[in-house]
Structure 1
Amino acid sequence: MSNNINANNLNTDSSSSPVNVPKMDALIIPVTMEVPCDSRGQRMWWAFLASSMVTFFGGLFIILLWRTLKYLWTVCCHCGVKNKEAQKINGGGDTQADGACKPTDEKEENVAAEVGWMTSVKDWAGVMISAQTLTGRVLVVLVFALSIGALVIYFIDSSNPIESCQNFYKDFTLQIDMAFNVFFLLYFGLRFIAANDKLWFWLEVNSVVDFFTVPPVFVSVYLNRSWLGLRFLRALRLIQFSEILQFLNILKTSNSIKLVNLCSIFISTWLTAAGFIHLVENSGDPWENFQNNQPLTYWECVYLLMVTMSTVGYGDVYAKTTLGRLFMVFFILGGLAMFASYVPEIIELIGNRKKYGGSYSAVSGRKHIVVCGHITLESVSNFLKDFLHKDRDDVNVEIVFLHNISPNLELEALFKRHFTQVEFYQGSVLNPHDLARVKIESADACLILANKYCADPDAEDASNIMRVISIKNYHPKIRIITQMLQYHNKAHLLNIPSWNWKEGDDAICLAELKLGFIAQSCLAPGLSTMLANLFSMRSFIKIEEDTWQKYYLEGVANEMYTEYLSSAFVGLSFPAVCELVFAKLKLLMIAIEYKSEKRESRSRKRILINPGNHVKIQEGTLGFFIASDAKEVKRAFFYCKACHDDITDPKRIKKCGCKRLEDEQPSTLSPKKKQRNGGMRNSPNSSPKLMRHDPLLIPGNEQIDNMDANVKKYDSTGMFHWCPAKDIEKVILTRSEAAMTVLSGHVVVCIFGDVKSALIGLRNLVMPLRASNFHYHELKHIVFVGSLEYLRREWETLHNFPKVSILPGTPLSRADLRAVNINLCDMCVILSANQNNIDDASLQDKECILASLNIKSMQFDDSIGVLQANSQGFTPPGMDRSSPDNSPVHGLLRQPSITTGANIPIITELVNDSNVQFLDQDDDDDPDTELYLTQPFACGTAFAVSVLDSLMSATYFNDNILTLIRTLVTGGATPELEALIAEENALRGGYSTPQTLANRDRCRVAQLALYDGPFADLGDGGCYGDLFCKALKTYNMLCFGIYRLRDAHLSTPSQCTKRYVITNPPYEFELVPTDLIFCLMQFDHNAGQSRASLSHSSHSSYSSSKKSSSVHSIPSTANRPNRTKTRDSREKQNATRMNRMGQAEKKWFTDEPDNAYPRNIQIKPMSTHMANQINQYKSTSSLIPPIREVEDEC
């Protein structure tokens, strides 16, 4: 067919003829009047391709030629330098050499200047394209965006023929493409200048893309033609997509970068291959004169490549050209391999994408807290059970858990059950990005849970401290409540600058509180159970039958709440308000937040526990109540004397129409109003004591005046008894020495541990037992039975406490236990430092359980008990016959003699709650029963650290709760003392100033016996409410519970001596004579004078008086004025004390050395009667055999 055939005629003929005529439109381009083109319709694709090939190979040739010439020049110069060096060595031609060197030096200077200029240009170009600068990042992102734009233009043009005539001035897409490629050309020049290796740069993928896409655009403008050609190569720019996202700080994790890389490589390869198939299939084979082409759209080619890579091959679309088929052969090899490797990996990365990797969306009007640290099924379930308890007010707080490990199926199911209030996000608080995801800056608080069962407590504390540092570094104002395992690690929190108790930061030390609970049980058995139940949210379980569980569970339903007092109570004394609230509102108030009116107190608030009748209620006073739910406590806020005075049903006490100022005061229980006042947290003034230099608040001023200020009996804060540091060798007892020692009414601490065991902090156990609100003779002697190697490690924190002894041995040895008279002890404490070193949870408590069962199975001779009973007239230690009839006493009520170990008071520490079933072999507890429902826990003979989990949520809702519980169980530890211990790791002795001695005037927990004394008439069938009011009015004692025999409800007498705890009984609760009453007892300044009446006539009477550590008389109000007689007896004591110090005989267990009392002590003149008593004491003391005393000389 001739070349001059008109294209229009050809199209007409081909469309009308039934005969298949070879298509020639691939050879001919339609000619229109608007587009000047070759009238013959000849294709010019070779011109476009030639421009790219010439550019590529021409530049490659120039680079290689330049490298060759440079190499030859370097070789020649190297040879010339060698010749010059040879001439210098031979020594000839020195003058000519010098003359020849000058032009060479000038050339080198010129070359150096030229190199410096080229280097500057190269550096400038490198900065322009570097992503390290803002300009470079903008340029890189702009090039990528324009490349994608050019690819989009290609997609649009792909619907047109492969080659067509276009006018540059009228084609808008061609103009845009031209502008893009001009920018690409400039960017190519910058890259070329900045490249260190020009050859490798020329062969880069991005350079090849520019070679085959930029020059054809300029050819299009010159020829007024458009050829799709290799413009599809712009799809290869998608490979840099992940780099662009990293420049924009969008991709940060390795998984996301890898995922984007795989997807971009896969897609770019797919689109590029589809573009090549589209080109060859629509053009045809050149050797076939382009007659075997087929019309395929670009997206059909994309489809063809996908079914080819996936090996499906439906056959509906396939390649017809030889070039297309040849390309498909090679593409199947690479595409199949890529599809088989990339697609599964992409799916795996998408499937493994963090399920909990989103961000928290804060809800307006709703607070949220962040919980992190040790997130497990047990810790989370315990936390949620207490935090979301129904007895609280409406908890409008969302809980956001943040942990770096995804939850297991059980924990995930727990989150789903509470999905309306709980969310989980996977991440770490050490990562600021994860903190931003959970909106830590807007969180109400951050709670950090600790792993109580870890093998290395110090490492766990260090991890939590690092979490605190990370959170405080991200947001210094966030409130943090963290759990700590070891007491000494609390000091590290003080090193964090933004750690501030005034803003609500609190550290709940589990070791401190756990051992404090146990120590209080040594003073008042069962108190640990009562306090643990008070600070935990328990639902009421009703039991109809008359069993001990019925009364126990009624008390378990009580919790601790706070509420502002109504203005109706303003001006009344604390005991009067307590009586009114208990009798009329059916509430028990144990403490208030008091604001002193003295100027020196600076109007700071303090928590006062049963302060006495000298404290008057002020406006807006916050009260601490024991009640079954928060709604009941509202009665104290709503009470109005005018409206509610004649109401007998407390449920009818609701908000009245009277105008009261406290309507503006919201409850502190609800999380809607958190207490953020600086003086209300664990500040030095938040401890439960008054400003001691206020003379109106110190009942015993006269006693303070007589104290010798030069005697160091207490620590520098006046909160604990103190003695100079003792060497451990002086307190070690052998078994024979212990057997010869009078040990009675003491505390035996059985401790399991060795050199490698983690320290449990025995100081926290001893400190409450050495509180200064006990008189010296009231202190119970403490005997540690355990490994000497372990106790040596603990001794550094114990050497300043008096009345401490050590018996090296093992608690499993009955000989050691008999040597310390365990049958005569007031309490036996069983602890273990090896509990967390065992993987099997059921075996963690094996040592403590074995020791407990060993003690309970022991049998004792009754001869000692008979002697003691005879000397005391068969009076149990709970009641001294010599005490006045109107003076109630408290103490551990033991039988006159103990013949079996089952009657020895024991408290055992457990790690695993389920192991409580092994402590009592005669109980009927189900193994699946919760700890607080078991008999050992209800009786106060078992304690587990898990009960302290509830303090996290209790502290969040009411930050005064933690201060209150620390005051009750630690004996009065203050932030000043903690700071001192952080500096010196030991107590510092202080002089007895009126200020420090006044710190002794604080409440303590005691037990009141009912079978004798002023309350005996109420013990037999009396009413608990009458006892409450009488004790409060007469002795300022605040009763808050009963320790009752387990079988007291039975009509037949029982030999069982087990007791259980009843918390806050109702007013009409009936009492029995064997009940022991928990009470908050005022400090008695006169009780210390009982030392003057100690008898030294016989060993039995002496030991009986020594056992008075369990017997403390509480003076009645009538005894207060008789202070003149007290002074005389006090002077006698001082003289007797000085006489004892002069004796040279050595005394065992003496905690005060000879220089404890300075020689310049002023002694007041003694009367004749006093001197006669002293001489009588000397004569009788010489007849006493040298028996080792269990109590130190005071």
Structure 2
Amino acid sequence: MRRQRGAGGGGAGWSSPKRLNLSPPPRSTIMSKNRDKFNPDPSIHISKMSVIIPFSPDVPCDSNGQRMWWAFLASSMVTFFGGLFIILLWRTLKYLWTVCCHCNAKKKEVHRITTGDGIKRTDKDDPAASEVGWMTSVKDWAGVMISAQTLTGRVLVVLVFALSIGALVIYFIDSSDPIESCQNFYKDFTLQIDMAFNVFFLLYFGLRFIAANDKLWFWLEVNSVVDFFTVPPVFVSVYLNRSWLGLRFLRALRLIQFSEILQFLNILKTSNSIKLVNLCSIFISTWLTAAGFIHLVENSGDPWENFQNSQALSYWECVYLLMVTMSTVGYGDVYAKTTLGRLFMVFFILGGLAMFASYVPEIIELIGNRKKYGGSYSAVNGRKHIVVCGHITLESVSNFLKDFLHKDRDDVNVEIVFLHNISPNLELEALFKRHFTQVEFYQGSVLNPHDLARVKIESADACLILANKYCADPDAEDASNIMRVISIKNYHPKIRIITQMLQYHNKAHLLNIPSWTWKEGDDAICLAELKLGFIAQSCLAQGLSTMLANLFSMRSFIKIEEDTWQKYYLEGVANEMYTEYLSSAFVGLSFPVICELCYVKLKLLLIAIEYKSDQRESRSRWLTLINPGNHVKMQEGTLGFFIASDAKEVKRALFYCKACHDDITDPKRIKKCGCKKFEEDQQSALSPKKKQRNGGMRNSPNSSPKIMRHDPLLIPGNEQIESMDENIKKYDSTGMFHWCPSKDIEKVILTRSEAAMTVLSGHVVVCIFGDVKSALIGLRNFVMPLRASNFHYHELKHIVFVGSLEYLKREWETLHNFPKVSILPGTPLSRADLRAVNINLCDMCVILSANQNNIDDASLQDKECILASLNIKSMLFDDSIGVLQANSQGFTPPGMDRSSPENSPVHGLVRQTSVTTGANIPIITELAKPGKKLPVISFSQDKSSGTSIQMITELVNDSNVQFLDQDDDDDPDTELYLTQPFACGTAFAVSVLDSLMSATYFNDNILTLIRTLVTGGATPELEGLLAEENALRGGYSTPQTLANRDRCRVAQLALYDGPFADLGDGGCYGDLFCKALKTYNMLCFGIYRLRDAHLNSQSQCTKRYVITNPPYAFELVPSDLIFCLMQFDHNAGQSRTSFSHSSHSSHSSSKKSSSVHSIPTTNRTNRNKSRDSRDKQKYVPL
């Protein structure tokens, strides 16, 4: 009996001589797309082979159902080995030809040498060598076509990859059909597409072959092998009208080039992303290719077994089998049955396991190491966003968000995007999550344009750059921030940038950036400039630094029921500075009238206005005018600066209408009215940007406000012009500061003995810690406000620096053009040095530190300043020493010699000095007649203790404020602004300036006003000059420069005597406000009150605290000092006394004239002859 082939086998075998009724193939579960067409004819008799493939009479295929897989495979093998043989044959023939040619050439050369032919012969250039052959040209052209260096090459490479993936997808579709079946090319759509793809692959193969330098290695490349086993079988399919799934799965190997394609398209740019895509593509391509081989052999069976051991597995079941095999899990539900399949699995499991064990962990690691905050910002329509970068820490971010998102602001519809190259720690991450509705964080750097694109910097409303205030190298930190500005401006020149700078001299580098302009709202907040400016203003009016710091910081109102000093202090802390446009009802009124109306009726304090100058030389400049006086008349669109508790209150100034609100007593009832088409008028007058109440836009309204001056107060009087010597330079070229020719530092150095012989009084002592390695803090920013030109020369306080001479020599280059400056080399911790400069008679003692902040323990960063402060407070002094020493030189301290012309009545008024909290506060005393006696009111204090010395200490760390006052009850965790030293104005920390970032963003006019108040009048022109020369340039006194002296200054007014004495004892603050404004054009804005004044007892405590913008009915006490903005006094420069103004900052002329005295008289002849004889007797030669 002959053996019969089972269904599913293949090849020749024994069969029965009888006719067979053939059944469908055993793999009947895998059917073709046209199953009904492939039913075998039962009448067919096969003598040698069973029918194993379906066929149909409609398809011209082998009716015997014979397998033709060997034809498909043979086409690939013949192509591969035939081409390989031809290449090897060509290289062999070429090698032999080269060897023969070389031997012949060698013989000819020997012959030329022996015959002497080649001695005089010179080789001529071969034309063939000088010209590029056509084969080389074709090769170069083919290389350009397949390279990714050109656009054509990139398109072609991407297209080949895309078509390869398309061919792989067709394979996935066809894998559901039998391995081999009859197909009609004209009816099979997928076969037609596959044919088109392979024709393109054939052409691309030809280009690659032409461009290849080494044909042999090209023939053995993976991509070439893929083409050999995928392209020829397609043509065989068309010829035989049958398809064989075969090795088409090799197209999956093209996935290995996926990372290259993404790099060509500039999608992958980082090494980690390239590596990740490489690993994934290699892993997936190997996986799919191996699954395709298992699918082929398992569905076909072993050839030597007559294909009878096949099993029906779908391609995706094979993919599953390979995955569980690589992972060594091996569930056993699917496994290989064929010998070929099992043999392949033996070798694959070795490589697959190694690949799985190495690639998968690395892929997971790369994915895990991907930046958690590496996405891109998605802008929300109708919502602005700002980008905050620089020094991003928990402290800086929390301080910024606390002020930026404060509830007292208008609805802040701004999203904050933080960009930093270090991922946030857990605390900072928790802070971001608490504000997730308005805050987003992205990891990256502003120096990388890609990261700038991620945060949409081009559509951002502004970019804010925070600085590290506690860095060891301030110049390096500023350089980093300047580089950030350059990078951002280079990416988007019109972006508004607000950056913090640590050192003033580094601001000049920002001017070198072409796109940096204040017109676009760019601002640089110099912390050193403002910090030292605040401290300098405290030398003129102690407590002002605290008041100004509270004004631009957003703080909520804390209500205290008990009658303590904290109650009144916190009521003032709740006030902030805002800007708003003045209503048309104020047009034509003078500034004092509007200021009084706003305070009395609207409960708003107007302190300044912004206007566009009508002068030709400054037509395009917007100027901020502080308390300009009654010569300024308001016009439409004038912007006002207000002090109020929240932004809603300030809108009263915009909504006020005389017709509708004149009889309203409750300011809360002042709302928008429509009696005069209010809204339309405002829209026509204001641009859309300016309608943002607290938006920082400098663009002017369409109708520019102008100044109508009825009194030419800005032009000096005739007497001044006549007495003016234009050959003497008294002021700098801008007219904003007192100036003197540069002095050598040796001329201003005082030894301890010289200082002890020099009677110093009413001066400023600056104790500074620093050495030759310390970073410069910029003492010029401290001296400039004290040398502002709106002080007369005799009103300038003498400044004595006590510190390291090596450090002060480095600072002297910026100080040598300021008058009345002396240096005592020493240490602020030495009591002998402090006594030598008469620290007990100074108006203010300032303690600064320039040492590097490289101490790990935050509590030790301020150790020197704290030790110096406690050292001074513990000192004891003998009051008689200063008096006797002065009298021995013919000098009597201020107020003790009534015969002095300084204290004689002038114009019915006399200036008297009184001792209050260690300072001489000049007051105004009104007399009916010159001979009237002055009332004696005693506010004396114990001058024998160092605690009576007015002092302000700079702190780096806020928490160290607890060590300054040993008698306070402040909790160590108390915020700085709630501590007693800060409330009293005896401590200042640079951290309070952090609020200026958000304040400047919402309203850049606030920064302009603050700088105008604290710097003494620094202007953009002056900054440009300092950037060029790093020193002030002297200028001649002209009417134009002298006009710059006519500007307001901050002062303190005493109430215990003078024209306001009747209000000092139980009077109302509002009455004082109106009287000072009407009578003297002085604008009051706060009180400096004794801490225990509310106790109505004779307390020995001399500490005072700040009350900002008290209400109208606030009760005054005689010991109060009033913060006020006073006008410049033109007459004080001639008579030394004034009938209209007096302040703590101006001091009495007797006090100022006697601030410094010297025994040697031989040097007095060197004085400037323009000063009067009294100046010559009282000032040390400078």
The structural deviation recorded for 1:855 is 1.1
The structural deviation recorded for 1:665 is 3.4
Residues 601, 295 of structure 1: CA spacing in aligned structure 2 closer, same or farther, 3 A cutoff? closer
The structural deviation recorded for 1:273 is 0.1
The structural deviation recorded for 1:644 is 2.0
8 Å contact 1:3–1:40 — kept in the other structure?
Answer: no
8 Å contact 1:749–1:830 — kept in the other structure?
Answer: yes
Q: Kindly provide the CA deviation profile for residues 738-785 of structure 1, in whole angstroms up to 9, marking residues without a partner as x.
A: 111121111111111111111111110000010011111111111111
The structural deviation recorded for 1:725 is 0.8
The structural deviation recorded for 1:194 is 0.8
TM-score scaled by length of structure 1:
0.85
Q: C-alpha separation between the residues in 1 aligned to 2:984 and 2:65?
A: 108
Q: What SS class does the counterpart of residue 894 from structure 2 fall into? A: coil
> Could you tell me which residue of structure 2 aligns to residue 273 of structure 1?
290
| Aligned mate of 1:516, from 515, 525, 533 | 533
Q: What SS class does the counterpart of residue 390 from structure 1 fall into? A: coil
8 Å contact 1:445–1:481 — kept in the other structure?
Answer: yes
Q: C-alpha separation between the residues in 2 aligned to 1:567 and 1:81?
A: 106
8 Å contact 2:904–2:910 — kept in the other structure?
Answer: no
Q: C-alpha separation between the residues in 1 aligned to 2:533 and 2:851?
A: 20
Residues 191, 182 of structure 1: CA spacing in aligned structure 2 closer, same or farther, 3 A cutoff? same
Identity of aligned residues (%): 92
The structural deviation recorded for 1:1002 is 0.7
Q: Which has the higher helix share?
A: 1
The structural deviation recorded for 1:357 is 2.0
Where structure 2 has 5 or more consecutive residues not aligned to the other structure, the ranges are 1-30, 925-952
8 Å contact 1:689–1:999 — kept in the other structure?
Answer: no
8 Å contact 2:637–2:704 — kept in the other structure?
Answer: no
Residues 460, 429 of structure 1: CA spacing in aligned structure 2 closer, same or farther, 3 A cutoff? same
8 Å contact 2:694–2:1002 — kept in the other structure?
Answer: no
The structural deviation recorded for 1:646 is 2.1
The structural deviation recorded for 1:324 is 0.7
Q: C-alpha separation between the residues in 2 aligned to 1:227 and 1:824?
A: 108
The structural deviation recorded for 1:1091 is 5.8
8 Å contact 2:794–2:1152 — kept in the other structure?
Answer: no
The structural deviation recorded for 1:1025 is 1.1
Residues 688, 1022 of structure 1: CA spacing in aligned structure 2 closer, same or farther, 3 A cutoff? farther
8 Å contact 1:890–1:1007 — kept in the other structure?
Answer: no
Worse-superposed segment, 75-84 or 678-687? 678-687
> Could you tell me which residue of structure 1 aligns to residue 1178 of structure 2?
1190
Q: What SS class does the counterpart of residue 40 from structure 2 fall into? A: helix
8 Å contact 1:555–1:1062 — kept in the other structure?
Answer: yes
8 Å contact 2:631–2:709 — kept in the other structure?
Answer: no
Worse-superposed segment, 948-957 or 336-345? 336-345
Worse-superposed segment, 1064-1073 or 900-909? 900-909
TM-score scaled by length of structure 2:
0.86
Q: C-alpha separation between the residues in 1 aligned to 2:882 and 2:601?
A: 47
8 Å contact 1:862–1:899 — kept in the other structure?
Answer: no
Residues 896, 915 of structure 1: CA spacing in aligned structure 2 closer, same or farther, 3 A cutoff? farther
8 Å contact 1:748–1:782 — kept in the other structure?
Answer: yes
Q: C-alpha separation between the residues in 2 aligned to 1:36 and 1:980?
A: 96
Q: What SS class does the counterpart of residue 1102 from structure 1 fall into? A: coil
Q: C-alpha separation between the residues in 1 aligned to 2:1060 and 2:923?
A: 28
Q: C-alpha separation between the residues in 2 aligned to 1:596 and 1:208?
A: 82
Q: C-alpha separation between the residues in 2 aligned to 1:926 and 1:266?
A: 63
Residues 1060, 571 of structure 1: CA spacing in aligned structure 2 closer, same or farther, 3 A cutoff? same
Q: C-alpha separation between the residues in 1 aligned to 2:1030 and 2:368?
A: 53
Q: C-alpha separation between the residues in 2 aligned to 1:1087 and 1:140?
A: 86
Equivalenced residue count is: 1121
Residues 156, 277 of structure 1: CA spacing in aligned structure 2 closer, same or farther, 3 A cutoff? same
8 Å contact 1:865–1:898 — kept in the other structure?
Answer: no
Q: What SS class does the counterpart of residue 106 from structure 2 fall into? A: helix
Residues 878, 77 of structure 1: CA spacing in aligned structure 2 closer, same or farther, 3 A cutoff? farther
Worse-superposed segment, 712-721 or 1083-1092? 1083-1092
The structural deviation recorded for 1:565 is 1.3
8 Å contact 1:571–1:617 — kept in the other structure?
Answer: yes
Residues 904, 729 of structure 1: CA spacing in aligned structure 2 closer, same or farther, 3 A cutoff? farther
| Aligned mate of 2:1171, from 1124, 1127, 1130 | 1127
Residues 525, 19 of structure 1: CA spacing in aligned structure 2 closer, same or farther, 3 A cutoff? farther
The structural deviation recorded for 1:428 is 1.6
Q: What SS class does the counterpart of residue 392 from structure 2 fall into? A: coil
Q: C-alpha separation between the residues in 2 aligned to 1:23 and 1:737?
A: 131
Worse-superposed segment, 346-355 or 484-493? 346-355
Q: C-alpha separation between the residues in 2 aligned to 1:890 and 1:975?
A: 41
The two structures, once aligned, show a CA RMSD in angstroms of 6.1
Q: Map 1:963-1112; keep pairs closer than 5 Å.
A: 963-1090=1008-1135, 1105=1150, 1107-1108=1152-1153
8 Å contact 1:735–1:819 — kept in the other structure?
Answer: yes
The structural deviation recorded for 1:35 is 2.1
8 Å contact 2:255–2:285 — kept in the other structure?
Answer: yes
8 Å contact 1:1044–1:1059 — kept in the other structure?
Answer: yes
The structural deviation recorded for 1:672 is 6.7
8 Å contact 1:745–1:826 — kept in the other structure?
Answer: yes
Q: C-alpha separation between the residues in 2 aligned to 1:1069 and 1:941?
A: 25
Residues 788, 885 of structure 1: CA spacing in aligned structure 2 closer, same or farther, 3 A cutoff? closer
| Aligned mate of 1:2, from 32, 43, 46 | 32
The structural deviation recorded for 1:347 is 2.2
Q: C-alpha separation between the residues in 2 aligned to 1:354 and 1:537?
A: 35
> Could you tell me which residue of structure 1 aligns to residue 23 of structure 2?
none
Q: Kindly provide the CA deviation profile for residues 63-122 of structure 1, in whole angstroms up to 9, marking residues without a partner as x.
A: 222223333333333333333333344xxxxx98869xx9998x9948637863222111
Q: C-alpha separation between the residues in 2 aligned to 1:1013 and 1:213?
A: 108
The structural deviation recorded for 1:842 is 2.0
8 Å contact 1:1046–1:1056 — kept in the other structure?
Answer: yes
Q: C-alpha separation between the residues in 1 aligned to 2:922 and 2:40?
A: 116
Worse-superposed segment, 251-260 or 742-751? 251-260
Q: C-alpha separation between the residues in 2 aligned to 1:446 and 1:803?
A: 42
Q: C-alpha separation between the residues in 1 aligned to 2:891 and 2:914?
A: 9
Q: What SS class does the counterpart of residue 508 from structure 1 fall into? A: strand
Q: C-alpha separation between the residues in 2 aligned to 1:322 and 1:85?
A: 65
8 Å contact 1:561–1:669 — kept in the other structure?
Answer: no
The structural deviation recorded for 1:289 is 2.3
Q: What SS class does the counterpart of residue 612 from structure 1 fall into? A: coil
Residues 878, 1079 of structure 1: CA spacing in aligned structure 2 closer, same or farther, 3 A cutoff? farther
Q: C-alpha separation between the residues in 2 aligned to 1:188 and 1:441?
A: 46
> Could you tell me which residue of structure 2 aligns to residue 352 of structure 1?
369
8 Å contact 1:877–1:1111 — kept in the other structure?
Answer: no
Q: What SS class does the counterpart of residue 1049 from structure 1 fall into? A: helix
Q: C-alpha separation between the residues in 2 aligned to 1:1099 and 1:379?
A: 36
Q: Kindly provide the CA deviation profile for residues 470-501 of structure 1, in whole angstroms up to 9, marking residues without a partner as x.
A: 11112111111111111111111111111111
Q: C-alpha separation between the residues in 2 aligned to 1:1113 and 1:644?
A: 63
Worse-superposed segment, 1044-1053 or 253-262? 253-262
Q: Kindly provide the CA deviation profile for residues 255-312 of structure 1, in whole angstroms up to 9, marking residues without a partner as x.
A: 2222221111111111000000011111122222222221211111111101111111
Q: C-alpha separation between the residues in 1 aligned to 2:706 and 2:1087?
A: 26
Q: Kindly provide the CA deviation profile for residues 7-38 of structure 1, in whole angstroms up to 9, marking residues without a partner as x.
A: x999999xxxx9999998x8733342122233
| Aligned mate of 2:787, from 770, 773, 788 | 770
Q: C-alpha separation between the residues in 2 aligned to 1:259 and 1:245?
A: 12
Residues 284, 1058 of structure 1: CA spacing in aligned structure 2 closer, same or farther, 3 A cutoff? same
8 Å contact 1:590–1:625 — kept in the other structure?
Answer: yes
The structural deviation recorded for 1:686 is 17
Residues 1115, 1046 of structure 1: CA spacing in aligned structure 2 closer, same or farther, 3 A cutoff? farther
The structural deviation recorded for 1:729 is 1.2
Q: What SS class does the counterpart of residue 311 from structure 2 fall into? A: coil
Worse-superposed segment, 539-548 or 211-220? 211-220
Q: What SS class does the counterpart of residue 1089 from structure 1 fall into? A: helix
Q: What SS class does the counterpart of residue 927 from structure 1 fall into? A: coil
8 Å contact 1:877–1:893 — kept in the other structure?
Answer: no
Q: C-alpha separation between the residues in 2 aligned to 1:443 and 1:618?
A: 34
Q: C-alpha separation between the residues in 2 aligned to 1:1084 and 1:405?
A: 56
8 Å contact 1:1000–1:1083 — kept in the other structure?
Answer: yes
Q: C-alpha separation between the residues in 2 aligned to 1:891 and 1:837?
A: 59
Worse-superposed segment, 894-903 or 228-237? 894-903
Q: C-alpha separation between the residues in 2 aligned to 1:241 and 1:2?
A: 32
Residues 23, 419 of structure 1: CA spacing in aligned structure 2 closer, same or farther, 3 A cutoff? farther
Q: C-alpha separation between the residues in 2 aligned to 1:892 and 1:783?
A: 33
Q: C-alpha separation between the residues in 2 aligned to 1:2 and 1:756?
A: 87
Where structure 1 has 5 or more consecutive residues not aligned to the other structure, the ranges are 90-94, 1132-1187
Residues 883, 741 of structure 1: CA spacing in aligned structure 2 closer, same or farther, 3 A cutoff? closer
The structural deviation recorded for 1:786 is 1.1
